Structure 1
């Protein structure tokens, strides 16, 4: 038991380093709170407390920090985020124009953002039928889904 108490500071420093390294990769503040709790255990040990008290102090401090400090930090971190949709989310609902007629579920559309996509007519749209849905060049469409490099579209009203 004396050996544990004598070398506990090494364990605390190792835990702090491990928690900080993991925190740098996750950025969720969980391991940061555990690292600060471990510092509390280290400081308790430096003041001569037994190892079991060091563990209790580290655990209590970590739990308190997780439930009191971490939530406001996460809110502050996410507050500055850009709410503008990007990637696939930015394409959903976007209007476009058919540039290669959509025949037998294949064609191309040019979207408002200038991108040209392979397009398929969504099977439950009003223009679809058993004879093969078609949309002529210049027809307005709205993107409803993206699957791979194909935009699924439905006919839109002309402006």
Structure 2
């Protein structure tokens, strides 16, 4: 049984991709190799993101925004982009899935309430992804990625 790997990507790698990575680590432990990166990384993690992750026991200790490592990008099984702004030019052998996550600020919801809603949306998607990845790794079913998109910039 091989260990599946996933790279979560957003623009700044300070919020949504860090949330997804922390939640996947909490859900799957060391059964999934989890990474996160940003297309234009910021300088720190979003404090409200860290707070709402701590609320559910998904720590971000030791994490920081980082750029996409081209070697890692070519080695992971799946890249998940969070939001429509993050664009990844992955090798043809790597599946890219986009999650257009809920954005409560579009409904006038901000602050900690916004972050909890974003966290909960991402958590549900992470749980479903963990089930798919682990089932495929255990040989119980082939990996299926129904929301697969390819974003190639020429």
User: TM-score when scaled to structure 2?
Assistant: 0.28
Q: Which one has the bigger helix percentage?
A: 1
Q: Which has the higher contact order (CA 8 A, sep 6+)?
A: 2
User: TM-score when scaled to structure 1?
Assistant: 0.27
Q: Which one has the bigger strand percentage?
A: 1
